[in-house]
Chain A
Amino acid sequence: MATDNETKNFAALDEVMSWRTQSALARVVGKQSFWVFIAAVIACIALSLATDSFSSSQNLFNVTRNFAFVAIVALGMTIVIISGGIDLSVGSTLCLSAMVLAILMNAGHPLWFSAPLAVGAALTVGLINGLLIAYLRIPPFVVTLGMLSLARSAAMVLSNNKMVFQFGPDEQLLFWLGGGSSWGIAHPVIALVLLALMTGAILRWTRWGTHVFAIGSNERAADLTGINVRRLKVSVYMCSAFFAGVAGVLEAGWLGGVTTNLGQSLELSVIAASVIGGANLMGGAGTVFGSVVGAALIEVIRNSLILLGISTFWQGAFVGSFIILAVAFDRIRSLRDESR
């Protein structure tokens, strides 16, 4: 056997090295996010043909703005899911951030002062989540389930469970930030595009991003290579909280008022968006593009039911079926790969 190898032609080995087993096309087509994207495009085309109102610029403006909040939070969730965790506290974190912002601005503080503190409050939630998960090794599901309750309760205590709808001297600026638009595009959508590009670049091009994928796939291996797994996990949950905090600030500006039920059960839509977009709850897989498309698809389904005059009670059935369908497709494909 040894001589076999020694006589191997080196030029041939060089040639083999430069290949990649899967072609670029095969890799794109093999991705769940690609098929979800196709589904979303088909749904949009079908709706434009079936209704007059879907493709109107006002409706498209609304659809994109509506899904922007879910998609922004889904960016952070995708990172958490890739790392092999889950964050159920994002809805409450969003609410806490919006409430901190509202209370500070209501007290007359400017936006530039209040917004960083609001995001800071969210980051604190993420820090606590991360420390408990990384250092005490409490399962992320449990920690963030507790935090879901805790953070919302904190928002209630801070506001005495009152609605805040006056934002002091910077009120117009806040409304412009969250509810305004530039070049015909709603500001939350612009924020989403910028944050998505940033997140995508970080995951693809930084050591941090590579390490997030590594711990999601094989935490022990990552640890053995000397990666500081604990610190990495803390940063991952802070990242998720950061996106929830930013979304909270924008949503406060869009709604023009903050109540303590803001972002209630948001975590479910966000996780759905990530999972539909190809994030694997077992960790190690997920894409920014996928989760944004997943969020878009959920909103398109919701919007289409309204436009087609179907009872909104059906919304859950459609979204739920899509979650299962998207994962089932992926599962069937991997079963086929295994049997190959």
Chain B
Amino acid sequence: MSVLRLEGISKHFGAIQALEGVSLSLAAGEILGLMGDNGAGKSTLVKIIAGNYRPSDGRIHIDGEEKDFHRPIEARQSGIEIVYQDLALCDNLTAATNVFLGRELTRSLGPFRIMDYGAMNEVSARLFKELKSETRPKDLVRDMSGGQRQAVAIARTRLAKARIVLMDEPTAAISVRQVAEVLNLIRELRRQQIAVILISHRMPDVFAVADRITVLRRGRKVADKPTTETSPEEITGLITGAIDMA
């Protein structure tokens, strides 16, 4: 059964039609590459799934149950987490503190509740190990590579026990070597039966990890195919409009 199913999602801002009747479904452990040119409606769609916007029309089902998100926190409670392009990390804190930011573990010391750094470091180390990432819980994020930062951001979603992870351009601003590291992180998520929507402009990255590719153009879905049945040339044509629909 699909963990996420969108039915005829439309969104307009005043006279501007950002999305028109977009339907798609996503199974556990599936990686969906969401592609499209700037302004095609990718981020609008992601924001609707994440609860930032409410769709003007259409329905969202999570695990077969219809949902109507009014706020991002509601989407999060349904197991949807986003990894932002700029990762939204605090440079001056350690990896473990970032993983736990906003839901820190505490223990009691007399009448006080104090931070339980030991437990947080331990759990973070386990999460990084699950992701097969060489990231040290006690290191400051400031001193980390792009790949390690991604691992921290993804570990946050693992801690939240997310079942659907939305990743916005995770490989946009990092070095070639780190891209490989990030793609491995995404594969780890798949192995753990997490559904991933990968929003990216980078064709090779999408083809390297995605099971399926969906293309949006001017707010409409113009393609939704298994990666093995398409080619970068076809996808490029679909994005630009050289190929009308597939």
Q: Is A29 an interface residue (CB 8 A)?
A: no
Which of B97, B109, B138 has the most chain A CB atoms inside 10 A of its CB?
Answer: B138
Q: A19 to B136, Cβ gap below 8 A?
A: yes
Q: B136 to A17, Cβ gap below 8 A?
A: yes
> How far is the CB of B192 from the nearest CB of chain A, in Å?
15
> How far is the CB of A92 from the nearest CB of chain B, in Å?
31
> 10 smallest A-B Cβ distances: which pairs?
A225-B102, A221-B88, A1-B180, A217-B90, A205-B114, A20-B138, A284-B92, A217-B92, A17-B125, A226-B102
Question: Are A16 and B84 also in contact (CB < 8 A) when A5-B184, A10-B129, A213-B92 are?
Answer: no
Residues of B164-222 at the interface with A, using a CB-CB cut-off of 8 Å, are 180, 183-184, 187
Question: What is the CA–CA distance of A16 and B102 in the complex, to the nearest angstrom?
Answer: 27
| Chain A residues closer than 8 Å to B114, beta-carbon distance | 205-206
> How far is the CB of B144 from the nearest CB of chain A, in Å?
9
Of all chain B residues, which has the CB nearest A286? B92
| Chain A residues closer than 8 Å to B136, beta-carbon distance | 16-21
Residues of B79-124 at the interface with A, using a CB-CB cut-off of 8 Å, are 84, 88-93, 97, 101-104, 106, 109, 112-115
Q: Is A214 an interface residue (CB 8 A)?
A: yes
Question: What is the CA–CA distance of A287 and B150 in the complex, to the nearest angstrom?
Answer: 29
Q: B84 to A224, Cβ gap below 8 A?
A: yes
| Chain B residues closer than 8 Å to A225, beta-carbon distance | 88, 101-103, 156
Q: Is B128 an interface residue (CB 8 A)?
A: yes
Query: Residues 56-91 of chain B: 1 if any A CB is under 8 Å from the residue's CB, otherwise 0?
Result: 000000000000000001000000000010001111
Of all chain A residues, which has the CB nearest B76? A226
Q: Is B244 an interface residue (CB 8 A)?
A: no
The 12 sampled A-B contact pairs (Cβ below 8 Å) are A16-B134, A20-B138, A22-B139, A206-B114, A218-B90, A221-B88, A221-B89, A221-B90, A225-B103, A226-B73, A226-B102, A284-B92
Question: What is the CA–CA distance of A210 and B92 in the complex, to the nearest angstrom?
Answer: 10
| Chain A residues closer than 8 Å to B7, beta-carbon distance | none
Q: Is A52 an interface residue (CB 8 A)?
A: no
Residues of A294-319 at the interface with B, using a CB-CB cut-off of 8 Å, are none
Q: B92 to A1, Cβ gap below 8 A?
A: no
Question: What is the CA–CA distance of A225 and B104 in the complex, to the nearest angstrom?
Answer: 11
* B-binding residues in A (CB < 8 A): 1-2, 5-6, 8, 10, 13-14, 16-22, 204-207, 210-211, 213-214, 216-218, 220-222, 224-227, 284-285
| Chain B residues closer than 8 Å to A204, beta-carbon distance | 115
> How far is the CB of A80 from the nearest CB of chain B, in Å?
16
Q: B115 to A285, Cβ gap below 8 A?
A: no
From DSSP, what is the main secondary structure of chain A's interface residues? helix
Question: What is the CA–CA distance of A222 and B104 in the complex, to the nearest angstrom?
Answer: 13
| Chain B residues closer than 8 Å to A18, beta-carbon distance | 125, 136
Of all chain A residues, which has the CB nearest B134? A16
Q: A13 to B132, Cβ gap below 8 A?
A: yes
Question: What is the CA–CA distance of A8 and B188 in the complex, to the nearest angstrom?
Answer: 14
Could you say which of B88, B92, B134, B143 contacts A220, with CB atoms under 8 Å apart? B88
Q: A210 to B139, Cβ gap below 8 A?
A: no
Could you say which of B97, B109, B137, B138 contacts A210, with CB atoms under 8 Å apart? B97
Question: What is the CA–CA distance of A124 and B93 in the complex, to the nearest angstrom?
Answer: 32
| Chain B residues closer than 8 Å to A222, beta-carbon distance | 90, 101-102
Question: What is the CA–CA distance of A47 and B106 in the complex, to the nearest angstrom?
Answer: 46
Could you say which of B73, B115, B137, B156 contacts A17, with CB atoms under 8 Å apart? B137
Question: Are A8 and B132 also in contact (CB < 8 A) when A21-B143, A284-B91 are?
Answer: yes
Q: A218 to B129, Cβ gap below 8 A?
A: no
| Chain A residues closer than 8 Å to B102, beta-carbon distance | 211, 222, 225-227
> How far is the CB of A12 from the nearest CB of chain B, in Å?
9
Query: Residues 120-157 of chain B: 1 if any A CB is under 8 Å from the residue's CB, otherwise 0?
Result: 00000100110010111111000100000000000010
| Chain A residues closer than 8 Å to B128, beta-carbon distance | 17
